Amino acid sequence: MTVVPPAADEPRRPSGPRDPGDAWVVAPSGEKYWGRFGAAGLLAVDPERGILLQHRVAWSHFGGTWGLPGGALHEGESAIVGAVREAQEEAGVPDAAVRPRFTSVLDLDVWSYTTVIADVIEPFDPVISDPESVALEWVPLDEVDARPLHPGFGRAWPTLRALLAVRPSLVVDAANVVGSVPNGWWKDRAGAARRLAESLSGLSVPGADIDLGGSAWFPPIALVVEGAARGIEAPEADDEDALLPAGVVSVVEADAGGDDAIVAAVERRVATGAYVVVVTSDRELQERVAAAGAAQVRSSGWLQGILTDAN
């Protein structure tokens, strides 16, 4: 990998000090990629209007094509934060207007690009706020292919579009997950359930783990609690600046049997078209939720492994 300074066709930045990430990375093959620390773009999805596309100015790299607002990451910046920051700079995306649903990463070893797919929660009209855009438009999904697309986005779009139809939802058997680790949880069942809820806030689930494409998903999570754990509150999500929180946790209290409440939670979500993943190691319950329409069932150990890797 070689890092070279910007040239005439570099993306132009707002006035002010240049970030160290604003540089070309040249691969051994001679191909060049913008962003010393990688790059990221925001695929904002509006349920009524489609996706937000940027018509790139002629002097830019692959000028004249349509792609996603995005650009070079800053050193140490997460792809999600960087994608939203760039979209704010290039398209005027307001604070707290989008919520991440999943990411897709193109990793070329010497350079990577992360597409951040995010649902529009607060509708907005984009604003051309820097010289890189000729136009910004909400484009219906069926009309995207008709545009001259940026080559990278054009290659990724068929896969991304298919994944837009998928909406994972996690239903977690709190008692079973808490009881899977002998850490003294029986001394304070409510406290153990509360700690589990906090650890689930913002949970990132690898796409491969739930047999979906994409690199990581941020599904809404229903944590079903029973007995002494009833009465705990859902944690406040730790949102970052311009982001609405991802992986929001809601607490579902079982009025009687916890298993019945879990099955009911699955049925409600299946009825909305969600791709429901249930977490429990209870074999009888696993059979019941599968019959209720759950797309997948994962063990408590599976979830504990993801939580351990995240820490």
Tens digits of residue pLDDT in 132-163: 789 999 999 999 999 999 999 999 999 999 99
- In the predicted model, is pLDDT for residue 6 greater than 60? no
pLDDT > 70: percent of the chain: 91
2-164 and 168-310 agree in CATH topology: no
Q: How confident is the model at residue 19 (pLDDT cuts 50, 70, 90)?
A: confident
Give pLDDT tens digits for 224-251: 999 999 988 888 765 555 566 667 899 9
Residue 245 pLDDT: 65
Domain boundaries, the chain: 2-164, 168-310
Cα→Cα distances 66→33, 137, 150, 157, 161, Å: 17, 10, 5, 12, 16
User: Which residues are CB-neighbours of 150 under 8 A, at least 6 positions away?
Assistant: 56, 62, 65, 66, 67, 68
- How far is Cα of residue 39 from the mean position of the Cα atoms in its chain? 16
Domain 2-164 has CATH 3.90.79.10: yes
Residue 184 pLDDT: 86
- In the predicted model, is pLDDT for residue 87 greater than 90? yes
CB of 2 closer than 8 Å to CB of 22: no
- In the predicted model, is pLDDT for residue 165 greater than 50? yes
Mean pLDDT in residue range 98-108: 94
The pTM assigned to this predicted structure is: 0.87
Residue 119 pLDDT: 96
Q: Which two tokens stand for residue 126?
A: 């984009």
Q: How confident is the model at residue 8 (pLDDT cuts 50, 70, 90)?
A: very low
- How far is Cα of residue 176 from the mean position of the Cα atoms in its chain? 27
CB of 269 closer than 8 Å to CB of 263: no
Q: Which two tokens stand for residue 156?
A: 């990724």
- 168-310 adopts what CATH topology? Rossmann fold (3.40.50)
Mean pLDDT in residue range 219-223: 95
Can you spell out the DSSP letters for 189-237?
HHHHHHHHHHHHTT--EEGGGGT-SSSEE---EEEEE-GGGTTPPPPPP
Strand partners, 66: 55, 149
Tell me the pLDDT of the chain averaged across its residues: 89
Torsion region of 280: left, alpha or beta (phi above 0 gives left; psi -120 to 50 gives alpha):
beta
Q: Which two tokens stand for residue 241?
A: 């600046």
